[in-house]
A and B are shown apart, each in its own frame.
Chain A
Amino acid sequence: MSSTASIATNFIAPSQRGSVIRFVTSYTLPLLVAAVFAVAATSTPDFATFANIRAILINTSIVGIIAVAMTAITISGNFFSLGIASSTVLAGIVFLAVSGLTGSALAGLGAAVVLSVALGILQGLIVGAGLNPVITTLAVGSVTYGLVAITTKGAVVTAGSVDVAWLATWNLLEIPLPVYIFVLFTAVAWFLTEHTLIGRNTHLLGANRATARNSGISPQATTIWAFIAFGVGLGVAGALNASQLHQMQANDLAGLTMDVIAAVLVGGAAVSGGEGSPTRSALGALLIVALGNIMLLHGLDNGWRVFLVGGIVVVLVVALHVLRKVSTR
């Protein structure tokens, strides 16, 4: 074989249609979010006010941080966690308790993150050994909830006289810290998934577990890293949530698990793994909150809001699925 160049022309160009659709798949969500905001701004009174947009961002930030963090688990091919609510509550309570003891909200934040990461590592070890992630996180979630409820006896936990609120209230340009943390967290998550060894391996593991193993990527270690990332997100989100209200109790955040899963799915992550992006999950969370806000401004009652959000989730996941199918054909 003297000329390799001639063989290179054997290469099959992906069809034009394929690339158009790929473009659409990756930009569907940003475009959709932009469209929703544009339409709402013109048609919904009070939507396009600074205060309302800020409210949307604040309400997105906690769910968004967790959705971004959970994207690591989903991308790595380990579905999602069913124990989000109780782990976040645990993080929040640890944050308050440690802040109260040490007098420093930063110490509390550190403790919350460390504990969440430890819980993440534990689950990563179990899941990495080959046990099903859905059952594992469900079971660990139940146990965590039970332990938190027993330990706190159902009481509202606070940080006492220690000021923890600044974490949630400190603001720049009238936008409070959690929103910046959310944006920063998303950016860091994006950078880590795209530009680090672990991020890349997480993607590859989810894309094809067997190939990953044959390529020397350890499923165990990678899974543990994904759960560590998840733990960091839970820790931060739990602490922010607790500082926002300076309090936390065992029963809090009941609907959080479903909100996060919905955000990740609307963000277009493939449940089978290998596909998904932290930025799109963040947009997914934003879209859901924004739609809820618009419906609220239009005076729709709770039933209609739940119903329409459900309908939108169904339509979006179906649309993303169809697009993905067409583009890989």
Chain B
Amino acid sequence: STGSSAAPGAPAASQGKGTGTTDGGGALLKVFMPSTSNVYLAAASQSIKDEAKALNYTVNIVENNWDQTEQDQQVQEWLATGERAAAVLMWPAGAAAATNSIRLLSAQAPVIQFNNLVTPEASKYVTAYAGVSDTGIGKEAGANALAAVKKLKAEGVKFHGPDGKPNVVEIRFTAGYAAGDDREKAFAEATPGAFNMLAVEPTPTVDAQGGFKAASQVIPRFLGQGIDIVYAHSNDVANGVVQALEQNGLKPGKDVILITGTSSGDMSNLRGGKIWSATLQSPVIEGALVVRTAAQYIATGQVQSGDVTIESSAAKPELKVEAPHAATYMMNPQVTAENNASFDIWGLSFDKLMGK
């Protein structure tokens, strides 16, 4: 359904017999991911460890400093040790630049990629994908934006754009960051012709600082035309946008609707109603999901074609011995000031889901 990226098919060579059980028997899961000096990664990393422990796998995580070159190096080093792993869980530092490392890893063990969607070039080396769908998030944000517009129109709010269309500024992830490309594209596709897009400005860094830097310079430029909606790619970035809006005399939540992607970072602006909505992206679920997908593949030696988005069930689903899909996406329900307190997915509250 999210057909924007090529659905990865499992490499023919690894299509074979599985162990028949999701119990790891102490086998190794090798993980390559960027630095856990960021809270999302720290939570994902912890969840990977917890889930692996539950399934009786050993994990070994190698972190890089958000640097694909460094990750490439770490991959080379690990390959050279000749150590065997039941699967490699790969969060590429830079998805578009990681293909070669993924290719080399795939010769050694099945590669389960997470967090960054599989690129068409890498698809023949990746066994399965599990985790966030940036496309899904962009789509959900688009739907949230449309819903907000509908609600406000009903309340009689007039928008500033031509033909009464809302004026939108998009503060996107750093230029060249693939997740940002997907979120931008999916949002546009989910809201065809609904908005008058004033500008799409990339942040220098994907955090509140970056959001502030970008927004504080872009917003003054369009003050005259009137800004109705700001779409920020993550809640963290949006926290910076809130500050920039307020400094320009705009009240987020009243004058301007702030729609955001990932529910990362400090949530007080969301809870205080300054941010209209975010989209759940739980590191805990992502971490668990990637380990489960690996376990399912190891158990069956098979991959089902196509993709699936898992449901927001209240209980954590039983892990069945069945072939994982080529891509398993997390749920991305809307998060708002009203609903965040009542979240209950897999038995976890919103804070727990965010790894707090």
Which A residues fall within an 8 A CB radius of B? Answer: 46, 49, 51-52, 54-56, 58-59, 149, 153-156, 158, 161, 165, 168-169, 174, 176, 241, 244-247, 249-255, 292-293, 296-297, 301-302
- B220-252 at interface with A (beta carbon < 8 Å): 220-221, 223-224, 236, 239-240, 243-244, 246-249
CB nearest neighbor in A for B240: A245
A46→B223 CA distance, assembly (Å) = 10
Contact between A247 and B239, CB atoms less than 8 A apart: yes
Segment touching A, from B49-57, B96-104, B202-210, B320-328: B202-210
B304 at the binding interface (Cβ < 8 Å): no
Q: A49-B223, A246-B268 are in contact. Are A296 and B243 (CB under 8 A)?
A: no
A154→B36 CA distance, assembly (Å) = 6
Contact between B205 and A55, CB atoms less than 8 A apart: no
A54→B216 CA distance, assembly (Å) = 9
Contact between A296 and B217, CB atoms less than 8 A apart: yes
Choose from A247, A293, A296, A297 the contact partner of B266 (Cβ within 8 Å): A247
Which residues in A have their C-beta under 8 angstroms from that of B223?
A: 49, 51
Q: A155-B39, A158-B266, A245-B239 are in contact. Are A51 and B220 (CB under 8 A)?
A: yes
A250→B42 CA distance, assembly (Å) = 12
Choose from B246, B265, B266 the contact partner of A169 (Cβ within 8 Å): B246
A154→B248 CA distance, assembly (Å) = 31
Contact between B249 and A59, CB atoms less than 8 A apart: no
Taking the nearest CB of chain B, how far is it from the CB of A320, in angstroms?
A: 27
Taking the nearest CB of chain A, how far is it from the CB of B11, in angstroms?
A: 34
Choose from A174, A241, A293 the contact partner of B249 (Cβ within 8 Å): A174
What does DSSP make chain B's interface, helix, strand, loop or mixed?
helix
The list of the 3 closest CB pairs from A to B, nearest first, reads: A51-B220, A52-B220, A149-B37
B41 at the binding interface (Cβ < 8 Å): yes
Contact between A255 and B204, CB atoms less than 8 A apart: yes
A247→B39 CA distance, assembly (Å) = 13
Which residues in A have their C-beta under 8 angstroms from that of B265?
A: 156, 247
Choose from B217, B243, B246 the contact partner of A293 (Cβ within 8 Å): B217
Which B residues fall within an 8 A CB radius of A? Answer: 35-39, 41-42, 175, 201-202, 204-205, 207-209, 212-213, 216-221, 223-224, 236, 239-240, 243-244, 246-249, 265-266, 268, 356
Taking the nearest CB of chain B, how far is it from the CB of A37, in angstroms?
A: 15
Taking the nearest CB of chain B, how far is it from the CB of A177, in angstroms?
A: 11
Contact between B209 and A245, CB atoms less than 8 A apart: yes
Contact between B212 and A301, CB atoms less than 8 A apart: no
Contact between A246 and B239, CB atoms less than 8 A apart: yes
Which residues in A have their C-beta under 8 angstroms from that of B37?
A: 149, 154, 249-251
CB nearest neighbor in B for A174: B249
Taking the nearest CB of chain A, how far is it from the CB of B111, in angstroms?
A: 25
Choose from B36, B38, B212 the contact partner of A244 (Cβ within 8 Å): B212
Contact between B236 and A156, CB atoms less than 8 A apart: yes
Q: List 9 A-B contacts (CB under 8 A).
A: A56-B217, A153-B36, A153-B42, A244-B243, A245-B239, A247-B265, A252-B208, A296-B217, A302-B204
A27→B104 CA distance, assembly (Å) = 59
Contact between B42 and A245, CB atoms less than 8 A apart: no
Contact between A302 and B175, CB atoms less than 8 A apart: yes
A161→B267 CA distance, assembly (Å) = 11
Taking the nearest CB of chain A, how far is it from the CB of B22, in angstroms?
A: 30
Which residues in A have their C-beta under 8 angstroms from that of B217?
A: 52, 55-56, 59, 292-293, 296
Which residues in B have their C-beta under 8 angstroms from that of A161?
A: 268
Which residues in A have their C-beta under 8 angstroms from that of B247?
A: 54-55, 58, 169, 176
Which residues in A have their C-beta under 8 angstroms from that of B42?
A: 153-155
Q: A153-B42, A155-B42, A245-B243 are in contact. List 13 more A-B contacts (CB 8 A).
A: A52-B217, A54-B220, A55-B244, A55-B247, A158-B268, A174-B249, A176-B247, A245-B212, A245-B240, A251-B37, A251-B207, A252-B208, A293-B217
Contact between B212 and A249, CB atoms less than 8 A apart: no
Which residues in A have their C-beta under 8 angstroms from that of B216?
A: 55, 58-59
A58→B215 CA distance, assembly (Å) = 12
A296→B212 CA distance, assembly (Å) = 15
Which residues in A have their C-beta under 8 angstroms from that of B268?
A: 158, 161, 246
A252→B39 CA distance, assembly (Å) = 12
Which residues in B have their C-beta under 8 angstroms from that of A297?
A: 221
CB nearest neighbor in A for B66: A251
Contact between B204 and A156, CB atoms less than 8 A apart: no
